[in-house]
Amino acid sequence: MGIVSAHAADLNSGSLKDGPVVQSYGPNWSGLYIGGSAGFGVGDTSDKIKLDGIERDRERAVDYKGYGIVERLLQSQYDVNGAIYGLHAGYNVQRGNLVYGLEFGFNGTAMDGATPCVVVGFCQRELDWYATGVGRLGYASGNSLFYGFGGVAWGDVKTSIGIASPA
């Protein structure tokens, strides 16, 4: 019986220098994402009045044919605030350093506000929900993404005027 030696180099048909090439890429911003949000919103609201078929902004109303006096009686400018919560989903595509994508979101809110108005009345406004659609265009640099976006938003705003304060 003889002695046989084995060498690990014999297991590879070539040398280590001929192994597979592993190329390192930076982060890839492509793909689907889904997320949620929760927060608190604050703002203010003001009404426009419409007299004789002419819509007038509150800030431009002057004592022209009595519009300023009537406008002051019908004035309702007040703060709104409340919780905001929602979901959003989007998809990005990266080609080289260029990143582009779309995102859609839907948010429910508890934002509302109220104030005395119309001399003896009470005005209330609430935002029940809003939705957004956004397009994104960006530049990826290492672990950073610099981008701009633009889109549309729409929502359900309810305004009510009553004689008594809401419960």
Q: Which helix (H) or strand (E) holds 67?
A: helix 67-73
Nearby residues of 105 by Cβ (< 8 Å), 6 or more positions away: 37, 86, 87, 88, 89, 131, 132, 134
Q: Residue 134 to residues 92, 123, 153: CA-CA distances in angstroms?
A: 12, 33, 9
State the DSSP string of 19-56: S-----------EEEEEEEEEEEEEEEE--EEETTEEE
pLDDT digits (tens, 9 = 90+) for 21-50: 656 567 899 999 999 999 999 988 876 655
Rounded to an integer, what is the distance from CA 133 to the centroid of its chain? 8
On whether residue 6 sits in a domain, the answer given is no
On whether residue 116 sits in a domain, the answer given is yes
On whether residue 11 sits in a domain, the answer given is no
Average pLDDT, whole number, for the chain?
A: 78
pLDDT at 89 over 60: yes
The pLDDT score that the predictor gives to residue 45 is 80
pLDDT at 68 over 70: no
CA dihedral 47, 51, 54, 58 (to 10 degrees): -30
d(CA 62, CA 49) in angstroms, rounded, equals 12
The pLDDT score that the predictor gives to residue 63 is 45
The pLDDT score that the predictor gives to residue 48 is 60
On whether residue 119 sits in a domain, the answer given is yes
On whether residue 156 sits in a domain, the answer given is yes
Number of domains in the chain: 1
Find out whether 87 and 34 touch, Cβ atoms under 8 Å: yes
pLDDT digits (tens, 9 = 90+) for 126-162: 889 999 999 999 999 988 999 999 999 999 988 887 7
d(CA 67, CA 51) in angstroms, rounded, equals 8
User: Is the model more confident about 157 or about 54?
Assistant: 157
On whether residue 75 sits in a domain, the answer given is no
pLDDT at 51 over 70: no
pLDDT at 99 over 90: yes
Rounded to an integer, what is the distance from CA 41 to the centroid of its chain? 12
d(CA 67, CA 81) in angstroms, rounded, equals 30
- The whole-model pTM stands at 0.64
Which residue range(s) make up the domain with 158?
Answer: 28-42+83-162
Cα angle 35, 36, 38; round to 5: 155
